[in-house]
Amino acid sequence: MTNQDVAKKLREVYVMMQLAGENRFRAIAFDRAAQTIEGLNDEIQTHIHGDTLTEIKGIGNSIAEDIRALAETGTMPVLEDLKERVPKGLTEWLNISGLGPKNIVKIHKALDITEIHELKEACQSGAVADLPGLGKKSAEKIIKSIEYLEKFGERCRIDQAIEVAEPMLDFVRGIDNVLKCEVAGSLRRSAETIGDVDILAAAEAEHAPGIFERFVNHDLVVEILGRGDTKSSVRTESGRQVDLRIVSESEYPAALMYFTGSKEHNIVMRQRARERGMSLNEYGLFQLSDEKETDFDQPVETESEADIYQKLDLNFVPPEHREDRGEFEFYEENESMDLLEEDQIKGVVHAHSTWSDGKYSIREMADACIDKGYEYLTITDHSKTASYAGGLTIDQVRQQWNEIDELNSEFSKKNFRIFKGIESDILADGSLDYPDEILEGFDIVIASVHSGLEMEFDKMMKRFEHAINNPYTHMIGHPTGRLLLKREESKLELNTLIELTSQKGVAIEINANPRRLDLDWRYGNKARETGLLTSINPDAHTVDGIDDIRYGVMIARKAKFDPERVLNTKSAEEFAKWLLK
């Protein structure tokens, strides 16, 4: 049982409690416990066996008992009880935009329906509109949300969100009388998947109607979901919802902090404010009255988020670190963290060519790298077991080496180098995909699992451990095998693998393909603790795929990687020396 297994069960309890109408704060406790366990730098099993669960922040006696029961029996009594009380279909309703737990329960009880298609029919028939507190407009919105959910899904990848957010942000910034403007929400925090896109702007109240009028008539907008005095929501042609909020310039710093989140970070910030005789909300930072209430007549002057942090005895916390995963302890003592920047990446590691399943030749991939300002490229086509992806036979490997030698002779005049690499399948027993005499001839070996992804936990761990211990393995590729919003990760205890790779001097890539973004940023604290090395790898199959490095850098920053621990910040010569070492 991994940390992720336990966290998943606790989150399931959180969702089910909302639908069962349980105490809101009790439900939130399970959600926060799940987040804490995801971010542990050691295995939850250690705390279970050592009877130290309650020493973990946010885990009280009751939740500790639930976790012990899960470890001993494979089930949680609290969850089983909730499953008996909550119809299974209702959990899917939570994905419907604008339909919260209270209205879900209200509709379910009044109409005795549980499936999304039944909800859609009830909205179309007028049954939902007749319920108190809902009405015709609510029913119409639910229908449209269901239709978009059927077509697009409730969340999207970070690249899909950016594709919508950037043009909308640029547009709003260019509207007359907009004083400040920024993306907020999970996109500003560099989360790997995004729900709605949130944009926050500062402007005088008298100018808000005109700004909203321009916003809702943007070329990308296909539907206006709502329009008010301070917020308007639209649906774009890609199916994404974009919300624009407008606040005054004085409210902007606190509003940007609040709407950036995360929820967990904001809770701690509000607690810190109260401990210092102040109150923090989306409108600003205020003094507390003698009755410990927010005194809106006594605002604390702040002109930026950094000012708010300073008033609460913290240095500025970058948005990507606002997850209540150790940032408060760090930024109390440190002015900043040395984080990777995209322009520090000097080489493209992990790329495919037409020798396997890439769409461009090695020359074309190299030319693209040169055009983008990189110093080197590692060609890591698929190994022979991956026949479905054109995996290379031993003869083809040798032919490819000859081609790379010829290209390097030519490209040396441009101070550019191509490294001979392979993305070797990790076979079921943990061995790599070629005999040692072939593995020895590669400059770099990235070892990845592409088959048997559902292997049971113990066997998968041994499989990875064997591959990490192989003297020819330089790097582990996309360790969990996940495909965001499509395929869950393999059963692994990544904290253990991070320790082992760090001890062996093996790196774990951050696969920058926005469909993967694997290594998961949630293991960043463990990676930092052990000194884990990584490389921001686009896993590029096209010349455009090289640009995915951008998303990998975002995840590396969120995972607290400094440039020294990122291998492809090295020059070609330095990278070559590391590979030999």
Crossing angle for the helix pair 61-73 and 3-20, nearest 10 degrees? 120
CB 448 within 8 A of CB 476: yes
Check whether residue 571 and residue 429 sit in a common domain: yes
CB 79 within 8 A of CB 34: no
Indicate whether 14 belongs to any domain.
yes
Indicate whether 138 belongs to any domain.
yes
DSSP 344: G
Q: What local confidence, expressed as pLDDT, does residue 248 receive? A: 97
Joined together, the tokens standing for residue 472 give: 């020819």
The domain that contains 78 carries what CATH number?
1.10.150.110
Query: Which residues make Cβ contacts (< 8 Å) with residue 177, sequence separation at least 6?
Result: 203, 204, 207, 210, 211
Cβ atoms < 10 Å from Cβ of 170: 10
Query: Which residues make Cβ contacts (< 8 Å) with residue 305, sequence separation at least 6?
Result: 253, 256, 257, 316
Check whether residue 451 and residue 568 sit in a common domain: yes
Indicate whether 253 belongs to any domain.
no
The enclosing H or E element of 382 equals: strand 376-382
The enclosing H or E element of 279 equals: strand 278-281
Tens digits of per-residue pLDDT, 194-238? 989 999 999 999 999 999 999 999 999 988 988 999 999 999 988
Check whether residue 37 and residue 148 sit in a common domain: no
DSSP 392: B
The residue type at 32: R
Tens digits of per-residue pLDDT, 34-69? 988 888 888 898 999 999 999 988 899 999 999 999
Three-state secondary structure string covering 206-265: HHHHHHHHHHHCCCCEEEEEEECCCEEEEEECCCCEEEEEEECCCCHHHHHHHHHCCHHH
Cβ atoms < 10 Å from Cβ of 166: 12
Check whether residue 393 and residue 435 sit in a common domain: yes
| Structural domain count, the chain | 5
The residue type at 129: A
Give the C-alpha distances (Å, rounded to integers) separating 247 from 25, 80, 145, 254: 29, 45, 27, 10
Rounded to a whole number, what is the distance in angstroms from the first to the last CA of the chain? 36
Check whether residue 442 and residue 539 sit in a common domain: yes
Check whether residue 134 and residue 229 sit in a common domain: no
d(CA 184, CA 194): 11
Find tokens 């020493």 and name the residue: 55
SS3 518: strand
Indicate whether 225 belongs to any domain.
yes
Q: What local confidence, expressed as pLDDT, does residue 152 receive? A: 63
Check whether residue 310 and residue 455 sit in a common domain: no
Check whether residue 78 and residue 113 sit in a common domain: no
CB 562 within 8 A of CB 340: yes
d(CA 550, CA 548): 5
Check whether residue 192 and residue 169 sit in a common domain: yes
The reply to whether omega before 233 is within 30° of 0 (cis) is no
Residue 215: which domain range?
156-247
Find tokens 């899917």 and name the residue: 92
Chain centroid to Cα 362, Å, comes to 31
- Averaged pLDDT, groups of 10, the chain, 581 residues long: 87 89 86 86 89 89 93 90 86 78 88 90 92 89 81 82 96 97 98 95 97 96 91 90 96 98 95 96 94 92 97 98 96 98 98 95 97 98 93 97 98 96 97 96 97 94 97 97 87 95 98 97 96 98 97 98 98 97 87
The residue type at 401: W
Check whether residue 438 and residue 559 sit in a common domain: yes
